[in-house]
Chain A
């Protein structure tokens, strides 16, 4: 499934805040963000968490037991943000 408008916006935030070489529309919404796939590491996730908190007002804590699922792909991350937005 192609990326939604919300997913494209989040992909742009990821590329900009992490200074990635890829362009936002090259990020497969279902590919892994960690390790293989986009190749992010724990420091990137911290950086991204803060960028997301500033942009969407959603808290993402590094000790959250669900992090593997939340950060597993652009799609899952976007779903999590949309569910918790404005809470």
Chain B
């Protein structure tokens, strides 16, 4: 059984109209060549870290990113460019969803384990992440740019369980604001609401 405390959360579905300006302020400059999908991912990841009170990621944290539709828009653009010529290099880079992981690493000057899982649902992503997570926990993101966009992130830290109060949960409730802890066991995913009883963080 694995238990995690949620130390940071950021959910916007969809993000507000001025999210790009907010991202530019966090980065110190407007990104010019990474594409909407990666911009939306960076925006959510950095906001989630801010919520967790972290400026840097510790070396042993793992970044797990999932998406239902990923870089479709960039891929569609590139297929259009390729009718009678090579694609534009930056546009091709934008078709690779894992580029976001490298961009996040570069932005934070961080080196570590990061992985993109295509499709499925956030609960499946969490299962893979939890199986590998180390002492510094997980930065978990679920991201889509279609239909207005969604960027949902959790910063999870492993903790020792002291008490009960967990109820069975679905992947859909993973990101809801009242949840303070997550637990994965043979029973599947369970969550616990904030303020129900004390847990000791490792």
On whether A and B touch (CB less than 8 Å), the answer reads yes
List residues of chain A with CB under 8 Å of any chain B CB: 17-21, 43-44, 46-47, 50-51, 54
| Chain B residues with CB below 8 A from A17, complex form | 88
Partner of A47, one of B30, B85, B90: B90
Q: Contact between A18 and B32 (Cβ–Cβ < 8 Å)? A: yes
Q: How far does the Cβ of B29 sit from chain A's closest Cβ, in whole Å?
A: 8
Complex interface: chain A residues within 8 A of B85 (CB): 54
Pick 23 A–B contacts, CB within 8 A, sort by A: A17-B88, A18-B32, A18-B33, A19-B32, A19-B33, A20-B32, A21-B30, A21-B32, A43-B33, A43-B89, A43-B90, A43-B93, A44-B33, A46-B89, A47-B33, A47-B88, A47-B89, A47-B90, A50-B86, A50-B88, A50-B89, A51-B88, A54-B85
A81 CB to nearest B CB, Å: 18
Extra inter-chain contacts (13) besides given A18-B33, A47-B88, A47-B90, CB under 8 Å: A17-B88, A19-B32, A20-B32, A21-B30, A21-B32, A43-B89, A43-B90, A43-B93, A44-B33, A46-B89, A47-B89, A50-B86, A51-B88
Cβ contacts under 8 Å, B93 to chain A: 43
* Residues in B whose Cβ lies below 8 Å from that of A21: 30, 32
Q: Output the least CB separation between A15 and chain B (Å).
A: 11
Expressed in whole angstroms, the Cα–Cα distance for A61 and B30 within the complex equals: 29
CA distance A20 to B93 in the complex (A): 18
Closest Cβ of chain B to A62, distance in Å, is 10
